[in-house]
Structure 1
């Protein structure tokens, strides 16, 4: 059955322009090829620096608290790689080798540029469906969400640079291969990301059990970005106040919430159902 997502006659919003330097994000139907070193770490100041210079995707860098200014930290800042100061004991637990106070976690995927993904979806005449994850840190939850997102036609997952699950071998396995095909975009500021999406003609819908509007009232046939919040405290107040729609999943039981991967699946399949009608 053809879904609204597959439609070739959808017209992009009036005035929308492709970003400067736009490049098509999809190649050979395999957007994110898993790397053989997906579970690897790189340690040592010079080794991490050379990894950054080589353009390798890095999820985060752990740096010993006592270390001062380092060239590797400046490179990480320029690349937008999260840096976390930690006690030396934590580094020692990760590796017993001479790490020199610096350990980098190599990503299992190549991150996409959100602007390119949005432009590509519009160029194909499709209706954008994006998933924004606000501080979801559990690796298996992330993998399960990615699996459902790929099955329901989500065009990309958006995560924050800081406070997101590490995309490692466990995430890849839990996603059942979905992360090999589904673009993941890493953004420095989700508030500004929401504003960009809205300016691109995409409605932003926040989903939480704390909200009053039933999700069945939302028009998911429009260009849509769905926000799901962290396992601990949901969607941040800043993001809640910046979205277009606030929606909740109706529940009749005594337990007041769902696991975030389950909740995401419920919402995404409602979006898919409406797009298939």
Structure 2
């Protein structure tokens, strides 16, 4: 983890929260819940920032300064808005193509997905605020530079974001092993959102219900599913093939 993205100490974290700086997660030493720590917890909850309680030894290992029982992990890059993604598609005179990630937790998966998405011409990525990795330094490194060009939007609720995309004319396709059709049998040339689920659980039930179509990848071996970033790559390049 890049220590430049770590903020240690109570007052510096309070000021970072006040300033509106993007914070991925706040780590608290177990048992700390009084005074300014209580204030930090309240501010974090108001902003929807995840809080994790850890042993003090972990904070000691992470910090290069006096952390006072709390460390904030700041975003490596700034997030964009849904309008930024739509504008990108409009400027290219292309039908919007957006990848929606439902609780992807591995930074290497997110970075790899960003790299594929940028190479294949996707206009942006949507991730949830909770139970999802954000734009950390590991993600930036794994993306091989794609993070500099591809807009990433962080939303409070994936379901609401899907509803907004539908209102903008997008069809939503969910990648799911129980899908009715193979991905290559569907017409993927229009304005679409592609939903990729969590590495272990897949797409959540509520998000799955929001999808217009569920599509699957053929599995001929003993293993029943692909890595999330690989599955994204397979379907994304079929979308590119059809659109070109």
TM-score under structure 2 length normalisation: 0.89
Aligned to 1:41: 6
| Equivalent pairs, count | 240
Give, in angstroms, the shift of residue 97 of structure 1: 4.4
Aligned to 2:160: 192
Contact 2:3 2:63 in 1 (8 A): no
- Matched ranges for 1:87-126 at <5 A: 87-95=55-63, 97-122=65-90, 125-126=93-94
Gaps in structure 2 of 5+ consecutive residues: none
Aligned to 1:182: 150
* C-alpha separation in 1, matches of 2:3 and 2:120: 26
* C-alpha separation in 2, matches of 1:116 and 1:82: 25
The answer to whether residue 52 in structure 2 is matched with residue 84 in structure 1 is yes
- Matched ranges for 1:2-17 at <5 A: none
For 2:191, which of 214, 223, 235 is the aligned residue?
223
* C-alpha separation in 1, matches of 2:85 and 2:44: 24
Gaps in structure 1 of 5+ consecutive residues: 1-36
Aligned alpha-carbon RMSD (Å): 2.1
Contact 1:62 1:102 in 2 (8 A): yes
Contact 1:61 1:84 in 2 (8 A): yes
The answer to whether residue 177 in structure 2 is matched with residue 209 in structure 1 is yes
Aligned to 2:204: 236
Aligned to 2:24: 59
Contact 1:145 1:261 in 2 (8 A): yes
* C-alpha separation in 1, matches of 2:108 and 2:156: 23
Contact 1:220 1:274 in 2 (8 A): yes
* C-alpha separation in 1, matches of 2:209 and 2:99: 18
Q: Secondary structure at the match of 1:241?
A: helix
Higher helix share: 2
Contact 1:160 1:186 in 2 (8 A): yes
* C-alpha separation in 2, matches of 1:162 and 1:64: 20
Q: CA offsets per residue over residues 162-219 of structure 1, 9 Å max, x none? A: 1112422221121110011101110111111111111111111100223231111222
TM-score under structure 1 length normalisation: 0.79
* C-alpha separation in 2, matches of 1:189 and 1:84: 20
